Amino acid sequence: MQAEKDDAQVKIAVDWIDKMVEYNVPHGKLNRGLAVVDGMRALNPDGVTDDQMHRAMVVGWCIEWLQAAFLVWDDIMDESVTRRGQPCWFRHKSVEMVAINDGLVLECQIYSMLKRHCKGFAGYADVLEMFHDVTYQTASGQLLDLITAPIGEVDLSKYTEEAYMRIVTYKTAYYTFYLPAAAAMHLSGVTDAAAFAKAVEICEKLGQFFQIQDDYLDCYGDPAVIGKIGTDIQDNKCGWLVVQALKKCTAEQRTVIEENYGKKDAECEKKIKELYVALDMEAVYLKYEEESYAELKAIMESQTVLPSELFGAMLAKIYKRQK
């Protein structure tokens, strides 16, 4: 009888995990995971073996699992409402703060999958180490984000371009761009330190470009398209738009930001958005987008350490994106 009760408990847990994984992992754009596969093809122009492609797909999914864990935790910290067109996982009454442990389960599953499918491969230890390093970098970026602009505490003196770039480089660039690119490099047998250093340089710039797009879409994007309701203004985020607005605004307009930014109030958010219109922040962003795209293309095509195609597919997928 006790054994039957134990089996029932285990089944409940397994069913929970199945539902949680299905809810949180597969419904994004999957660009991070696909970038590993694209990278393998770019680094192996003469063809990729079945074993190489299998490992690339496993590692790609592991990156998507890591992304899912980050999003589950991030939504709790930001008190977000929707994600990928559905309520945030923690918003379900049956879940709530169990989501904290669910995020940990998602992260732990990464190492189970890597052990099962990649152990014995020469680059296994390098891939493991890289996942740990990038997770730490991302958590550090999230910490910088949270302590620079705590919800409900507005200190505009902290909203500098330098602070913003540090946050987004650590919070976004490494796991979104460097991790897929470097994973493909390790899986292809690349060992040249100069190649990895060049990958870091390019991927940091890609990550900054991507996060600035994200900040723009949080304010200007259609929730039905981007899959979430933008909350950066009410969440007091040290975002690109407010940093740029502070550089352009008059003393009177700065007062509007001081009095309305970071407040959980729809009218306050409306005033900030009206100020962004007055400052023509959309045009500021579009100018940045074109200039940064041209700069990234030039950097990728001028270096000879790695095939430009390793990064070109990433840039092509995010340029002019709407979600």
Which tens digit of pLDDT belongs to each residue from 299-317? Answer: 999 999 999 999 988 999 8
Tens digit of pLDDT for each residue in 16-26?
999 999 999 99
Asked if pLDDT for residue 212 goes beyond 70, the answer is yes
Distance CA(183)–CA(181), nearest Å, equals: 5
pLDDT at 3: 58
Among 136-140, 232-236, 290-294, the least confident range: 232-236
Query: What integer pLDDT is reported at residue 67 of this predicted model?
Result: 97
Say if CB 39 and CB 311 are below 8 A apart: no
- The structure tokens listed for 310 are 């390793």
**Model pLDDT, residue 321:** 81
The domain ranges of the chain are: 2-318
- At residue 63's C-alpha, the angle toward residues 62 and 68, to 5°, is 95
Q: Does domain 2-318 have CATH number 1.10.600.10?
A: yes
Give the mean pLDDT of 51-78: 96
Looking at the DSSP bridge assignments, the partners of residue 86 are 83
Q: Which of 106-115, 148-157, 236-245, 256-265 is predicted least confidently?
A: 148-157
pTM to 2 decimal places: 0.90
pLDDT at 78 over 90: no
Which of 8-22, 37-51, 222-236, 254-268 is least confident? Answer: 222-236
Residue type at 150 in one-letter notation: P
Task: Give the pLDDT confidence of 121-177 residue by residue, as tens digits.
Answer: 989 999 999 999 999 999 999 999 999 987 778 888 999 999 999 999 999 999 999
Mean pLDDT of 202-216: 95
Q: State the chain's mean pLDDT as an integer.
A: 93
Asked if residue 212 lies in contact with residue 243, where contact means CB atoms within 8 angstroms, the answer is no
Banded model confidence at residue 223, pLDDT cuts 50, 70, 90: confident
Who's near 299: CB < 8 A, 6+ residues apart?
Answer: 201, 202, 205
SS (H, E, C) the chain: CHHHHHHHHHHHHHHHHHHHHHHHCCCCCCHHHHHHHHHHHHHCCCCCCHHHHHHHHHHHHHHHHHHHHHHHHHHHHHCCCEECCEECHHHCCCCCCHHHHHHHHHHHHHHHHHHHHHCCCCCHHHHHHHHHHHHHHHHHHHHHHHHHCCCCCCCHHHCCHHHHHHHHHHHHHHHHHHHHHHHHHHHCCCCCHHHHHHHHHHHHHHHHHHHHHHHHHHHHCCHHHHCCCCCCCCCCCCCHHHHHHHHHCCHHHHHHHHHHCCCCCHHHHHHHHHHHHHCCHHHHHHHHHHHHHHHHHHHHHHCCCCCCHHHHHHHHHHCCCCC
At residue 6 the predicted structure's pLDDT band, cuts being 50, 70 and 90, is low
* Contact call for residues 313 and 35 (beta carbons, < 8 A): yes
Tell the residue number behind the tokens 């009218």, with chain if given: 267
Query: Is residue 5's pLDDT more than 80?
Result: no
Q: What pLDDT, on a 0 to 100 scale, did the predictor assign at position 149?
A: 81
